[in-house]
Structure 1
Amino acid sequence: MKKYGIIGGTFDPIHFAHLYIADEAKASLGLDKIIFMPNGNPPHKSLKKVSEASIRYEMVSEGIKDFEGFTVSDYEIKKNGLSFTYETLQAFKQEDVELFFITGADCLMDLEKWKNIKEIFKVSNFVVFSRPGFTYETLKEQKEYIEKKYKTNIIFLNLKDLDISSTDIRERIRLGRNVKFFLPNSVLDIIKREKLYK
């Protein structure tokens, strides 16, 4: 049985915290592969301006190229309509593959707003990593509540706080500030070439 991790996100842009989370999850859970899944048309981002999907896909491709077992999928980008997690997981479910859906603490807190979460638990192992702004006690309480209500088990990864966000990177670029220490140079080259976030 192969074990694949899926990390979804806007990745606008991908940065070192994304790569650290993926690498830690791969090592901790013994995953054969991590699939980065840039959102195509996520329902929760519909009011925000998001960079063109093909550019975000290219940034992820460049950002992960030095990591063994990291791949990127354009499944959600090519899919028509809104991108729902349960549909993506259903599409990637195979007889010989155990799926691990990896997401942040903020998503655990908002999980009951997601569509068809029972199906998410049915087809994958739900993995949550810690993020700045959430105490362990708060996350533990929410984790236990969700586990009890949906009769599932959530895997919790207590990671180092790398307080890097795509939002902050975009703002720094807008202000003309340096961002070299937040993301790979190959990703920064694409941002400069496309004149993103100005």
Structure 2
Amino acid sequence: MKRYGMMGGTFNPIHLAHLYIAYEAKETLNLDKVIFMVAGNPPHKKESPVIDSNYRYDMVKMAIKDYSGFEISDYEIKKQGYSYTYETLKYLKGDEEDIEVFFIAGADSLMDIEKWKNPELVLSNCTFVAFNRGEYTKEALERQKKKLQDKYNSNIILLDISNLDISSSMIRERIIRGKRVDFFMPDKVMEYIEQNNLYRGH
């Protein structure tokens, strides 16, 4: 059985916490690879400024280049219309029976998943791996995990990781204010942002 991790997101921009979480998931869960799925047109971010997907794809590609077992996919970028997780998971599994997909997401996604489109299809097509960045107590996550597992007969793993308090929105804000961001992201990504004058206008 092949074990594929999938880490979706706008990656606007990608930063070191994304890489750390993907690495910890790969090592802890013995995954064959982690696929970074760059969102094209995410339905939940209609109002927030998301830069062009080609820029975001390039930055992820640069960031993961030196990591063994990290891959990138442009499936959601090339897909027309909004990208929904249940469709992406079905695409990743394809017709192969011997693939188990581990969907790696923040604890907020675990808490909100029943607001997603077709949550039962999301949970039936993957093992849901939730990492906590300190927003929720362990007890609250355990309660939600039990509730979803009982209701949807799903597999859910709570991934215990160190909290790297880095967010893409914080990085964008620092760029606007002219503050340094090299502490939070790979050098190549930071140079790419500077070369292409990204995030200055948001």
Out of 92, 111, 114, the position equivalent to 2:113 is 111
Match of 1:19 in 2: 19
Alignment of 1:45-56 (within 5 A): 45-56=45-56
Matched, 1:172 2:196: no
The alpha-carbon deviation at position 96 of structure 1 amounts to 2.4
The alpha-carbon deviation at position 153 of structure 1 amounts to 2.4
Moved >4 Å (runs of 4+): none
CA–CA distance in structure 2, aligned partners of residues 74 and 5 of structure 1? 15
Maintained 8 Å contact 2:126/2:155: no
User: Which secondary structure state, in structure 1, belongs to the residue aligned with residue 199 of structure 2?
Assistant: coil
The alpha-carbon deviation at position 114 of structure 1 amounts to 0.6
- Aligned length in residues: 198
Match of 1:9 in 2: 9
User: Which secondary structure state, in structure 1, belongs to the residue aligned with residue 3 of structure 2?
Assistant: strand
The alpha-carbon deviation at position 137 of structure 1 amounts to 1.6
Maintained 8 Å contact 2:14/2:60: yes
Name the TM-score, length of structure 1 as normaliser: 0.97
Maintained 8 Å contact 1:174/1:197: yes
The alpha-carbon deviation at position 95 of structure 1 amounts to 2.1
Match of 2:85 in 1: 85
CA–CA distance in structure 2, aligned partners of residues 97 and 146 of structure 1? 22
Alignment of 1:54-69 (within 5 A): 54-69=54-69
Maintained 8 Å contact 1:106/1:131: no
CA–CA distance in structure 2, aligned partners of residues 96 and 142 of structure 1? 28
The alpha-carbon deviation at position 125 of structure 1 amounts to 0.9
Unpaired runs of 5+ in structure 2?
Answer: none
Q: Identity of counterpart residues, as a percentage?
A: 55
The alpha-carbon deviation at position 120 of structure 1 amounts to 1.4
CA–CA distance in structure 2, aligned partners of residues 78 and 151 of structure 1? 32
Unpaired runs of 5+ in structure 1?
Answer: none
User: Which secondary structure state, in structure 2, belongs to the residue aligned with residue 11 of structure 1?
Assistant: coil
Maintained 8 Å contact 1:132/1:163: no
Alignment of 1:148-187 (within 5 A): 148-187=150-189
Letter in 2 for 1:173: I
CA–CA distance in structure 2, aligned partners of residues 68 and 55 of structure 1? 23
